[in-house]
Amino acid sequence: MIARYTLPEMGALWSEATKFRKWLDVELAVCEVHAGMGTIPRDALAEIKARAAFTVERINEIEKTTDHDVIAFTTALAENIGEAARFVHYGLTSSDVVDTANALLLRDACDLLLKRIDALLEVLRRRAHEFKDTPQIGRTHGVHAEPTSFGLTFALWFDEMRRNRARLLRAREAVAVGKISGAVGAFAHLDPEVEEQVCARLGLRAAPVSTQIIQRDNYAEYLSTLAVIASSLDKFALQIRHWQRTEVREAEERFRAGQKGSSAMPHKRNPILSERICGMARVVRGYAVAGLESVALWHERDISHSSAERVILPDSSIALDYMLAKATSLIDTLVVYPARMLENLNATRGLVFSGQLLLALTQAGVSREQAYEWAQRNAMKTWDEGGDFRTRVLADPDINARLSRDEIERAFALDTYLRNVDKVFARVFEHSP
């Protein structure tokens, strides 16, 4: 991932130095298990642990000759370890090291992403309660529908992110799997007990069965989960972009002192952060497709997956980390205009109360079809000719024959639409972690 969208902690996790450190963690764990089982001398283990070291620069230099990164890595270790290096990588194939180390990296990436999600959940909870009683026009098809609570939007997003958190926990479990089973996964040179003990030392589960590699449906699940989470953030950001449209302007991104919106138009305040989140979601979804295509491989393995994974595993993790951090900041500092929401709610001159009028008429004994016709004919005149919907309804002889003036006025009461918001909030937040 480019530096522009890389935050320090996740970026450090996916650095070359950390990758090789995880490889070394796997190699040392294998040596420890071998020493415990008597396969290699204990004094050799002590020498390996004391002298095992590498530099990224030296590994890269050796790889120019070997054209094989794991061999370059073990060669660099051997230069520092000396004679005992013959016991390093004992009985292993490259994927034993790479895939088990990937499990460590992906598990740690999940932990960082879970912290980001928790921070976003807390912001969504706060803003939901802040605007629970703030009326806003609800829209379907982009057209004014009925009044709603602005806070309900954040409650909805909170509930969705809570589901995403559960998805990520499941993905974490799926990827936290190691394998130390050899060249085709048949344990020809190692006892399965070695794999069990190595994975236990590393805090991983051992794959019940594998080929030369961990099966890529695990990675596909991780990448697909990240794509779902990115799509949720895409949804949130798209809604904010709608709110910031000049014709709507119910909320907007914070515009800092000194910030510039356009090189040509000094008046512009654009939803650039929301647009950036939407764009990056497309990238993360694309990486999920590459992950799905890496599930099918030739026989016990090929390496068509590895070139893609060198990009998609770090980049998707880094991108989503960035998106979560920015979405949290965006929603935390979102500037909200309740007065403008009320203006927009009233912009259709009462039309948004047509559904409540329909119910009032049916309660008064009018058939639904007849009630709909009476309400709609007044609504269509208001759309086409202007004027006020309530005024037309009050002058309609059919409606007035069935409803009193007080009953008509109650049909146009805004608070009716918000009367059950507290119950919805109780369902969303009462038992949330």
Give the whole-angstrom CA distance, residue 24 versus residue 29. Answer: 8
Phi, psi (deg, nearest 5) at residue 268? -70, 135
Number of C-beta neighbours around residue 241 at 10 A:
20
| Lowest mean per-residue pLDDT among 15-24, 28-37, 48-57, 250-259 | 250-259
- State the sign of the Cα–Cα–Cα–Cα dihedral 199, 205, 209, 212: negative
Tell me what pLDDT residue 157 has: 98
Question: 78: helix, coil or strand?
Answer: helix
Q: Does the pLDDT of residue 433 top 60, yes or no?
A: no
Q: Where are the domains of the chain?
A: 93-137+148-254+266-342, 348-416
CA atoms within 13 A on the CB side of 31: 23
Average pLDDT over residues 108-129: 98
Q: 217: Cβ–Cβ under 8 A, 6 or more apart, which residues?
A: 295
What does DSSP say about strands 177-178 and 205-206: parallel, antiparallel, or unpaired? parallel
Question: Is 89 a residue of the active site?
Answer: no
Q: Does the pLDDT of residue 336 top 70, yes or no?
A: yes
Average pLDDT over residues 358-367: 96
Q: What is the mean pLDDT of the chain?
A: 95
Average pLDDT over residues 43-51: 97
Beta strands per DSSP E along 101-183: 135-140, 143-149, 177-178
Average pLDDT over residues 247-272: 83
Q: 206: closest CA among 52, 78, 30?
A: 30
Q: Does the pLDDT of residue 61 top 80, yes or no?
A: yes
- State the sign of the Cα–Cα–Cα–Cα dihedral 79, 81, 83, 87: negative
Q: Which two tokens stand for residue 135?
A: 């009326």
Percent of the chain with pLDDT over 70: 99
Number of C-beta neighbours around residue 380 at 10 A:
11
Residue pair 214/179 in contact by the 8 Å Cβ criterion: yes
Q: 201: closest CA among 17, 22, 25, 19?
A: 25
Give the whole-angstrom CA distance, residue 278 versus residue 292. Answer: 22
Interval 285-310: pLDDT, tens:
999 999 999 999 999 989 889 999 99
Interval 162-220: pLDDT, tens:
999 999 999 999 999 999 999 999 999 999 999 999 999 999 999 999 999 999 999 99
Average pLDDT over residues 342-370: 96
Number of C-beta neighbours around residue 135 at 10 A:
19
Percent of the chain with pLDDT over 90: 93
Tell me what pLDDT residue 348 has: 94
- Longest CA pairwise span in the chain (Å): 103
CATH code, 93-137+148-254+266-342: 1.20.200.10
Residue pair 412/356 in contact by the 8 Å Cβ criterion: yes
Tell me what pLDDT residue 432 has: 58
Kindly report whether the global pTM for this prediction surpasses the value 0.85.
yes
Question: Is 262 a residue of the active site?
Answer: yes
Q: 183: closest CA among 32, 301, 31?
A: 301
Q: Does the pLDDT of residue 257 top 90, yes or no?
A: no
Q: 70: closest CA among 48, 47, 54?
A: 54
Residue type, 313: L
Range 366-370 contact pairs with CB under 8 angstroms and sequence separation of 24 or more: 366/402
Confidence of residue 407 (pLDDT cuts 50, 70, 90): very high
Give the whole-angstrom CA distance, residue 188 versus residue 199. Answer: 18
Question: Would you state the CATH architecture of domain 348-416?
Answer: Orthogonal Bundle (1.10)
Q: How far is CA 35 from the centre of its chain?
A: 43
Q: Which helix (H) or strand (E) holds 65?
A: helix 56-66
The number of residues in the chain equals 433
Number of C-beta neighbours around residue 207 at 10 A:
22
Residue pair 210/192 in contact by the 8 Å Cβ criterion: no
Question: Which of 15, 262, 367, 432 does the annotation list as catalytic?
Answer: 262
Residue pair 125/101 in contact by the 8 Å Cβ criterion: no
Give the whole-angstrom CA distance, residue 385 versus residue 349. Answer: 12
Average pLDDT over residues 124-138: 97
C-alpha dist (Å) from residue 183 to 98, 189, 218, 289: 13, 9, 20, 28
93-137+148-254+266-342 matches 348-416 in fold = no
